């Protein structure tokens, strides 16, 4: 049922079969900039960004084509969006749709935003009236994965549309999984992110308790990471971002909090009772308010530190 692919065989496939595919890319942020760079290596790629300087820079660095207005994107075959929230996606969609005419060739819209499933359904419905297929294809792997073309993409939408988008997706994603119809990609992403948030907060609570009892946090983490309590959060995030006190803001607390809110909305539409997801929602929202939306998501643990009167470090 699910499709698993790697980006190992990209070059072979592309040059032979899709020489004339034109790609559009809207949103050259920390993720989008390198993603569009990978695309530009294989396709004619048109780029747009709210802050224009990024566009010029991208064209210079990656040979992409600068697009001055969103209305021009009717001229590409596949259009990617990679924006902070669904709100921005809907805004740009209005302008792109406004620019469509008889000569437009846009067939597939791939949104890599960590978006809202319900709003995705509305957007997909609008696009389908113009013969455009929609895929929600949010990503995991962070800015490092974007640079290394090692992202994981969870895709919602039709198998046919995914087939269209696959060669392009493969330029930056090492793992591509279709998880269901439109909205399923966003849903899995939101749930993924709240699972990450729970793992992070859980190890945070554990280490905060140990620290306030005088146990060496580094030794405890060493044990946990050799044992069954380990997670990406305990193996990577805490040692690299928290214990170093670096908290590099590559994935902001405000965005994680937004994603958890989406997960909570989806829980509300499901039959599931999820006390831990809902607790995580409150805690990360409080952390966003107290620590700052622009801080790295791992800085949420500073709330635990404040409560306990300790600092997590080795």
SS3 of residue 81 by DSSP: strand
Of 58 and 258, the one with the shorter C-beta distance to its own copies is 258
Exposed, middle or buried: residue 10 (CB in 10 Å: 0-12, 13-18, 19+)? buried
Provide the minimum distance between the beta carbon of 43 and its own copies in the complex, in angstroms, as a whole number. 25
Of 106 and 256, the one with the shorter C-beta distance to its own copies is 256
How far is CA 265 from each of CA 116, 145, 188, 289, rounded to the nearest angstrom? Answer: 9, 28, 13, 20
Give the integer Cα–Cα distance in Å for 248 and 143: 11
Of 160 and 219, the one with the shorter C-beta distance to its own copies is 219
Provide the minimum distance between the beta carbon of 93 and its own copies in the complex, in angstroms, as a whole number. 21
Give the integer Cα–Cα distance in Å for 29 and 49: 8
Provide the minimum distance between the beta carbon of 190 and its own copies in the complex, in angstroms, as a whole number. 9
Provide the minimum distance between the beta carbon of 297 and its own copies in the complex, in angstroms, as a whole number. 10
Of 66 and 293, the one with the shorter C-beta distance to its own copies is 293
Give the integer Cα–Cα distance in Å for 209 and 212: 5
Of 102 and 271, the one with the shorter C-beta distance to its own copies is 271
Provide the minimum distance between the beta carbon of 62 and its own copies in the complex, in angstroms, as a whole number. 26
199: CB partners within 8 A, 6+ apart:
231, 232, 233, 234
Which of 114, 61, 150, 87 minimizes the C-alpha distance to 266?
114
């Amino acid at each position: 049922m699910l499709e698993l692919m790697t980006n190992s065989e990209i070059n072979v496939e592309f040059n032979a079969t899709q020489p004339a595919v034109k790609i559009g890319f809207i949103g050259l942020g920390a993720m989008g900039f390198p993603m569009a760079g990978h695309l530009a290596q294989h396709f004619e790629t048109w780029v747009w960004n709210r802050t224009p300087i990024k566009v010029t820079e991208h064209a210079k660095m990656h040979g992409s084509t600068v697009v001055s207005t969103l209305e021009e994107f009717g001229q590409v075959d596949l259009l990617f969006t990679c924006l902070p929230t669904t709100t921005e996606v809907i805004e740009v969609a209005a302008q792109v749709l406004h620019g469509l005419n008889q000569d437009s060739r846009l067939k597939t819209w791939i949104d890599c935003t960590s978006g809202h499933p319900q709003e995705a359904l509305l957007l997909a419905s609008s696009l389908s009236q113009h013969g455009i297929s929609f895929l929600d294809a949010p990503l995991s792997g962070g800015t490092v994965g974007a640079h290394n073309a090692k992202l994981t993409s969870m895709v919602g939408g039709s198998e046919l549309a995914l087939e269209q988008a696959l060669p392009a997706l493969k330029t930056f994603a090492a793992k591509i999984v279709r998880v269901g119809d439109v909205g399923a990609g966003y849903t899995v992403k939101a749930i993924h992110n709240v699972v990450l948030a729970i793992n992070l907060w859980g190890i945070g609570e554990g280490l905060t308790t140990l620290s306030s009892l005088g146990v060496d946090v580094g030794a405890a983490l060493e044990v946990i990471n050799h044992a069954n309590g380990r997670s990406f959060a305990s193996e990577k995030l805490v040692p690299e971002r928290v214990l170093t006190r670096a908290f590099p803001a590559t994935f902001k607390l405000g965005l994680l909090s937004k994603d958890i809110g989406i997960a909570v909305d989806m829980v509300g539409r499901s039959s599931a009772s999820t006390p831990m997801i809902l607790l995580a929602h409150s805690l990360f929202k409080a952390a966003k308010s107290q620590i700052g939306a622009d801080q790295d998501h791992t800085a949420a643990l500073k709330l635990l530190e404040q409560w306990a009167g300790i600092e997590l470090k080795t």
